[in-house]
Amino acid sequence: MMEGPPEARAAAVIVPKSQVQAVRQVLLDAGWFDPARKIIAAEEPGCLAVPVNVDSGSGEAFAAAVKHPIVRLALPPSKAKGPPPPHELLKASAASLLAAHGLPKELVSEVPRRWEMHGDLVMLPETAYRGAGWDGIPGAELWSSVAGTLSAKRVARKARIDAGGFRESQAVLLHGKDSEVVHVDNGIKYHYDVLLCMFSAGNISEKLRVAGFDCSGQTVVDLYAGIGYFTLPYLVKGGVDHLHACEWNPNAAAALRRNLVLNHVAERCTVYEGDNAVHAPHHVADRVNLGLIPTSELGWPVAVRALKKRHAGWFHVHENVTTDPALGAPVADQLATFGLGVAASFKALLCETHGGEWSVGIDHVEKVKSYAPHIYHVVYDVRAQPL
């Protein structure tokens, strides 16, 4: 990559052209896009260099959300000077409110650095503005200020996901009159209610990866479809022949059906509402998606039954894997070791369910994001072949 003198180098990520729009939206939503620099063609074929502006405290969050390493190279300045980063604008508006109400200026440190944008609704993290001092500002004034600063019409705040089996959202609407949104990722529309359904913006890298699979002529079973996080990329971008989507949360299943129509793929999808152990189809799949964390292990026997009889296929297995720094082994090695256990379990299930001998291995390990210190959301691409 051609580089200029040190003072001319800027931070950027190298992104395939097909992913630039989706990655740029992630950067904009998090305040990481650098409007002062131009997006230019990269030396890597079919890629663009997208300028970023990341502070020192955002390294791990940035890596988890964007999935492209930061490089330094010469980027020409944009013709128009861009506005300050959204985080700085939010801090400035908060500082004004605190001063107007005679509250401690130190509270400005509780202004969030990251949030999610879902259309015209800003979804704040669970910890945003939760300190007792913020009670001194009327809620209507505070949330109206947040909405105006971030060019949003509605404001909501996340809460811990319901521990029940439905994993329902417990978000709270703080500003605005309704909680239905349409979120667009990679040209795919997701329509849902933020108070009823969960949406993980941090999974965009895996959705982009799924969208890049060539599934033409294949039948896919998605055991944990939700509102269509992975179902829709398979259908809209992956070219699957037919997809069987299983979802037991009635609110998510209703949103899934709307999204299938919204994206014009309803005729290629069958929705099974209820427990997938009961309702998932048998012996139909070339590929099974198991997108449930912290573990999808209870669905492994269901996935194996869904595979076509004595037929080669794929299982995309999502797991939260805890690594141990005390072992001294690299994270990648520990994730790979965990994957060997996943492959062994699938081999045993395949031999028991379908009979005969099977060759089973991990074709790819995808580290989606860091979920907590030393806990990683990982997808194992398990390839199975009858012998």
pLDDT tens track for 214-224 = 999 999 999 99
**Residue 265 carries which side chain, given as an amino acid letter?**
V
Query: What's the confidence (pLDDT) of residue 7?
Result: 41
> CA-CA distances (angstroms) from residue 323 to 85, 301, 302, 334, 335?
34, 26, 27, 6, 8
pLDDT band at 135 (very low <50, low <70, confident <90, very high): confident
Q: Quote the percentage of the chain above a pLDDT of 90.
A: 47
Task: Name the least confident of 107-111, 166-170, 292-296.
Answer: 166-170
More confident residue, 333 or 81: 333
Q: Does domain 86-178 have CATH number 3.30.300.110?
A: yes
CATH for 6-74, among 3.40.390.30, 3.30.70.2580, 3.65.10.10, 2.40.50.140?
3.30.70.2580
pLDDT tens per residue across span 143-153: 999 999 999 99
Query: What's the confidence (pLDDT) of residue 67?
Result: 77
Residues of the chain within CATH 3.30.300.110 domain(s) are: 86-178
Eight-state DSSP code of residue 289:
E
Query: What's the confidence (pLDDT) of residue 2?
Result: 41
pLDDT band at 73 (very low <50, low <70, confident <90, very high): confident
What pTM was computed for the model? 0.77
Contact indicator for 225, 245 with CB cutoff of 8 Å = yes
Is residue 1 over pLDDT 60? Answer: no
Would you call 64 exposed, middle or buried from its count of C-beta atoms within 10 A (0-12, 13-18, 19+)?
middle
The pair of three-digit structure tokens given for residue 221, joined into one six-digit string: 């079973």
Query: What's the confidence (pLDDT) of residue 8?
Result: 57
50-71: average pLDDT? 74
The pair of three-digit structure tokens given for residue 147, joined into one six-digit string: 């909405």
> CA-CA distances (angstroms) from residue 270 to 230, 244, 256, 263?
14, 5, 11, 15
Query: What's the confidence (pLDDT) of residue 5?
Result: 43
- Dihedral of the alpha carbons of 370, 371, 372, 374, in degrees to the nearest 10: -50
- What would be the CATH architecture of the domain defined by 202-386? 3-Layer(aba) Sandwich (3.40)
175-183: average pLDDT? 89
Per residue, the 3-state secondary structure of 107-169, as one string, reads: HHHHCCCCCEEECCEEEECCCCCCCHHHHHCCHHHHHHHHHHHCCCCEEEECCCCCCCCCCCC
> CA 258, CA 224: separation in Å to the nearest integer?
17
Contact indicator for 259, 227 with CB cutoff of 8 Å = yes
Query: What's the confidence (pLDDT) of residue 118?
Result: 84
Per-chain mean pLDDT for the chain = 87
More confident residue, 271 or 163: 271
Q: Which of 42, 29, 23, 357 is nearest to 185 (CA)?
A: 23
Query: What's the confidence (pLDDT) of residue 34?
Result: 82
Residues of the chain within CATH 3.30.70.2580 domain(s) are: 6-74
Residues of the chain within CATH 3.40.50.150 domain(s) are: 202-386
Is residue 4 over pLDDT 70? Answer: no
Query: What's the confidence (pLDDT) of residue 161?
Result: 60
Is residue 206 over pLDDT 80? Answer: yes
Task: Name the least confident of 155-159, 186-190, 371-375.
Answer: 371-375
19-41: average pLDDT? 80
More confident residue, 111 or 159: 111
Is residue 66 over pLDDT 80? Answer: no
More confident residue, 303 or 374: 303
